[in-house]
Amino acid sequence: MTTGVPSIPEFAQAVLRAEEPYRTVGLVVGTEIAVLLGVSAAVLLWFVWKGFLELLRMAVERRYGIYVMEASIERLHEDSPILRASLVSRAYLRGHLLSKILRIGGPGRRSLADLYTRMGFLDRDAAGLSSMRWWQRVESCVAIGLAGRTEFAARVGPLLDDSREAVRIAAARALSRLEGAAAVPAIVAAMGQATEWGAARMADMIAGCGAGAFEHVKAAVESSAEPVQRARLIDILGAIGDTRAIPILLGLMKDADSEIRIRAAKALGVVPDRRSAVALARALGDDSWEVRAQAAKSLGRVGDPEMIEELSGRLDDRNWWVRFNSAHALAAMGEPGRSELQRVVEQKSGFARDIAAQVLDMSAQGVLEQ
């Protein structure tokens, strides 16, 4: 006879079905808590490990710092404790020595580089040049360049063709330190394959070689047919600041490519000379407003007061940048230039008067870029 009351198995199953959502929620919450605890433990262990490494680094530097200081003054004796440091200590001393070599120059740098070599670090760096890891190749180039060991230049050179630009830049920096101006042709070649950022870094290295790099850069300018590369090389000529570059730059001011004329006008402003001033004044009449604007800006840097009249004549140019740069150049020439601007305000009208008044006001407020 059916009473309508469920049997015990049916009742148990109903209870289990009713509890199922709660068990699922509990399982999810438990899993999330376990994951959170695991992540927290990992983060805590990471901080503990980093703290331990930092304490170890400080202990090593405190233990051997005095010997590093002594080594920067004179060559250490063979039984110096730093030369017998443990492998763990050496791992920290390598970075410490590199940072010291980077910060000092002269005999001190050479002495520390000698210690770096005696501790066997340079052999490790030389092996790192062929590492599969690009960051190790970068690190090795930096270390070898700082150590100044020219015998490794031949092994660094091939890295100018590395697939990684960071490696090529590091190799160029190392070669510029190891070989100076002699490395310029190789760096120029590498610069031709670099991005704008990489080329700018390499250009700084070449310019840093000073007047010794001039002949190499001159030859590259004369032989290069690629406009972008020629423009970069012209910038380097200006950065070197050698007056021997003026005849080359004067010729480039007649180039058919307006970008080349702009770069040449910029470079002439870095090499103050009467010839530069005359060429820049002539360029104020160029068909390209960008060339006229750069010529005016460069004339302000040259600072030849005999060019005041030419600059004043461009205050009514149809392009605002030409007008502004001309007025700015006049203001940069001191009292004679500002007097000319004041005369324009009082005696002329239109574009010339407006730009002269604007620049005089900016000059009075001290907001003009010098």
How far is the C-alpha of 273 from the C-alpha of 215, rounded, in Å?
20
**Do 353 and 326 belong to one domain?**
yes
Q: Is the per-residue pLDDT at 38 higher than 90?
A: no
348 falls within a domain? yes
Q: What is the mean pLDDT of the chain?
A: 87
pLDDT in tens, 232-253: 999 999 999 889 999 999 999 9
Nearest Cα residue to 115 out of 61, 71, 78: 71
Lookup result for tokens 């324009």: 344
pLDDT in tens, 133-186: 999 999 899 889 888 888 889 999 999 999 999 999 999 999 999 999 999 999
pLDDT in tens, 278-310: 999 999 999 999 999 999 999 999 988 999 999
**Do 295 and 245 belong to one domain?**
yes
Q: Is the per-residue pLDDT at 6 higher than 70?
A: no
Q: Which of 302, 333, 351 is the last residue before a domain boundary?
A: 302
**Do 241 and 325 belong to one domain?**
no
Do the Cβ atoms of 155 and 126 come closer than 8 Å?
Answer: yes
* Percentage of the chain modeled with pLDDT above 90: 51
Q: What is the pLDDT of residue 37?
A: 82
Q: Which residues contact 104 (CB under 8 A, 6 or more apart)?
A: 72, 112
pLDDT in tens, 338-348: 999 999 998 88
Q: Which of 302, 330, 358 is the last residue before a domain boundary?
A: 302
Nearest Cα residue to 216 out of 246, 245, 253: 245
Total of domains in the chain: 2
**Do 297 and 340 belong to one domain?**
no
Phi-psi domain of 241 (left: phi exceeds 0; alpha: psi -120 through 50; beta: other): left
Nearest Cα residue to 158 out of 194, 121, 180, 130: 130
Do the Cβ atoms of 96 and 68 come closer than 8 Å?
Answer: yes
How far is the C-alpha of 75 from the C-alpha of 312, rounded, in Å?
64
**Do 275 and 341 belong to one domain?**
no
* CATH code (residue 259): 1.25.10.10
| Residue type for position 240 | I
Phi-psi domain of 4 (left: phi exceeds 0; alpha: psi -120 through 50; beta: other): left
Backbone φ and ψ for 2, nearest 5 degrees, come out as -85, 125
